[in-house]
Amino acid sequence: MGWYLAYMVIYFIFMFSMGFYYFFKVKTYDDYLIGGWNMGYWSIVGTIISTWCGAAVFIGWVGMGFTVGISGFFKFALPGIGFCLLLILLLAAPLRRQKLYTLADLFGERFGGKSGIIPSVLSAFIYSVPTLALQIVGMSTIFKIGLGLEVKWGIFLSFALILGFTILGGLPATIITDAIQSIIVIVGIVILFITSIVYAGGFGEIANNTAPEYLSMVGPFGIGEVLLYALSVAPFYLVWQSTWQRIFASKSERVAKRAGTTGFIIAGAISVLPFTIGLIARQYVPLDMDPDLLFSYVTAELLTPAIGGIVLIGLLAALMTGSTSFILQGSSNLTRDLYQRLMRKDATQKQLMLSSRLSVIIISVLGLFVAYLLTDIVTAYQWALRLSATVLIFPFLAIMFWKRVTKIGVLTSMFLALIATSIWPFLDLQLDHTVFGFLVSLISLIIVSLITKHDDTEQIKAVFWEDLASADITNDTDFKEGAS
């Protein structure tokens, strides 16, 4: 326990030193929530890796590898990485040129008025809060392993540390510390991966002692279920606010695209490891073990405290950075979309900074309550992800690619998709509930947009094509000027 405590003390001294540094350095709302649009290549790479590798990677995916094998990577991790890369490569440039802060900003700019309320509420409360709670509970397990702290006290300590750091440094402190923490994350998971292989007798022994279905790319799911997930839930990552914040925080479009691509490729490679660790653990762990406890058990069983402490700090770093990112996601929604757009359009920088820090407290406290009150946070998180995907994906794509979409069409689509996804459990349908929500969203979006007219508040454009045309005109003009 001495090693664990020493590592934790050093880690939090470093984190809060950075927090206090940026507390005095950050002067504006743009700096606090978007990093002043000025973060460099390696900072963005590091924060993407750290944010992706949160509680799901270290705890959930190790347990999933234990129960279903390597197929968990192809069903859950790879599709998410794929859609993140699609967002970065295809849409990062046109989105960044809009000078946005949030997804709801995009809706507000396109349709005007209060059209961004639904995306903002979904992002701030339905997604950010349960996701934060999941990180808080994950951190409490680290304090239980390393310090013997009861879970209820571990949850409160996690909340206090997360809130303190986030309210001090905002996104700049998060991104800079993420870049450093990403190294700890990678080192920790690689150590556990290599140790697991050695402990189990090497790759040959592992292959000989593992049932074929656990080594299959589709495993017990079957190709149909893997593809269904990839085409239904995984598109959520097109509207994942954490990635949007990294796009906007980058100091240039080139950095946003190159760093984003590098970060998610590395994150994807890392994601293979926890599933493999869980698969290998079947060689020496009781098969009736609770999968959520597997990471802790393997770390304590295989590693001495001096080495195991590094792995636990890697997990702690991943949970800490995930928590701050999700809090700032919700904070940006509350401050930009609800406070500034709806309540005080002429707010000063001082008022926006105060609102940002107050909203950090609000999201954090709600996350604390969810961590204490919900017994099945993972299910709540999955529902939040599905709701966000079914409600937002097609309206977002329409704003980017379809000029004919109308304000009434988008609002109707979001409202009906929200209802359809929520009532699906009571309908006894054979159709997957995410697919059902997507169908309701798409059909209502197209039909209502075609039978309604554009509102006076709308900027009638398809963001992607208009941005592409502007880029072509600029390049053509530059060419002519250079030739002359």
| Maximum mean pLDDT: which of 32-46, 217-231, 331-345, 357-371 | 357-371
Q: Where are the alpha helices (DSSP H) in 282-348?
A: 294-302, 305-332
Of 119, 44, 52, the residue nearest 336 (C-alpha): 119
At 250, is the secondary structure helix, strand, or coil?
Answer: strand
| Cβ atoms within 10 Å, residue 394 | 27
| Maximum mean pLDDT: which of 39-43, 102-106, 321-325, 414-418 | 414-418
| Mean pLDDT, range 48-53, rounded to an integer | 82
CATH number at residue 284: 1.20.1730.10
Q: What is the structure's pLDDT at 95?
A: 87
CA-CA-CA-CA torsion sign (31, 36, 42, 47): positive
Lowest mean pLDDT among 31-40, 158-167, 182-191, 215-224: 31-40
- Considering the domain boundaries, does residue 166 fall inside one? yes
Q: Which residues pair with 250 in a beta bridge?
A: 39
Lowest mean pLDDT among 49-53, 139-143, 389-393: 49-53
Of 321, 318, 13, the residue nearest 187 (C-alpha): 318
What is the C-alpha end-to-end distance of the chain, expressed in Å? 73
Q: How far is Cα 392 from Cα 239, in angstroms, rounded to an integer? A: 7
Over residues 171-212, the pLDDT tens digits come to 677 777 777 777 887 888 888 899 999 988 888 888 888 888
- Burial class, 37, CB count within 10 angstroms (exposed 0-12 / middle 13-18 / buried 19+): middle
Q: What is the structure's pLDDT at 478?
A: 40
Q: What is the structure's pLDDT at 415?
A: 92
Compute CA 229 distance to the chain's CA centroid, rounded to the nearest angstrom. 17
At 36, is the secondary structure helix, strand, or coil?
Answer: helix
User: What's at 163, amino acid-wise?
Assistant: L
At residue 255, does pLDDT exceed 70? yes
| Residue where the block lists tokens 């303190």 | 164
Give the DSSP letter of residue 456.
T
| Maximum mean pLDDT: which of 122-131, 286-295, 462-471 | 122-131
Helix axes 61-68, 294-302, angle to 10 degrees: 90
At 406, is the secondary structure helix, strand, or coil?
Answer: coil
Angle at 87 between CA 81 and CA 91, to 5 degrees: 165
Q: How far is Cα 187 from Cα 270, in angstroms, rounded to an integer? A: 10
At residue 1, does pLDDT exceed 70? no
Over residues 207-235, the pLDDT tens digits come to 888 888 888 888 877 788 888 877 777 88
pLDDT confidence tier of residue 481, bands split at 50, 70 and 90:
very low
- Considering the domain boundaries, does residue 360 fall inside one? yes
Q: What is the structure's pLDDT at 279?
A: 92
The model carries a pTM of 0.83
Q: Do 44 and 246 touch, CB atoms closer than 8 A?
A: yes
- Considering the domain boundaries, does residue 103 fall inside one? yes
- Considering the domain boundaries, does residue 365 fall inside one? yes
Q: Do 52 and 266 touch, CB atoms closer than 8 A?
A: no
- Considering the domain boundaries, does residue 380 fall inside one? yes
At residue 249, does pLDDT exceed 60? yes
On the CB side of 398, CA atoms within 13 Å amount to 29
Domain range for 218 is: 2-388
Number of domains in the chain: 1
Q: What is the structure's pLDDT at 406?
A: 94
CA-CA-CA-CA torsion sign (220, 224, 228, 230): positive
Q: Do 290 and 75 touch, CB atoms closer than 8 A?
A: no
Q: What is the structure's pLDDT at 33?
A: 61
- Burial class, 288, CB count within 10 angstroms (exposed 0-12 / middle 13-18 / buried 19+): exposed
- Considering the domain boundaries, does residue 442 fall inside one? no
- Considering the domain boundaries, does residue 72 fall inside one? yes
- Considering the domain boundaries, does residue 444 fall inside one? no
Over residues 76-135, the pLDDT tens digits come to 889 999 999 999 999 988 888 887 777 888 888 888 767 778 888 888 888 888 888 888
Q: What is the structure's pLDDT at 482?
A: 44
Q: What is the structure's pLDDT at 263?
A: 92
At residue 12, does pLDDT exceed 80? yes
At residue 355, does pLDDT exceed 60? yes
Helix axes 241-249, 41-52, angle to 10 degrees: 170
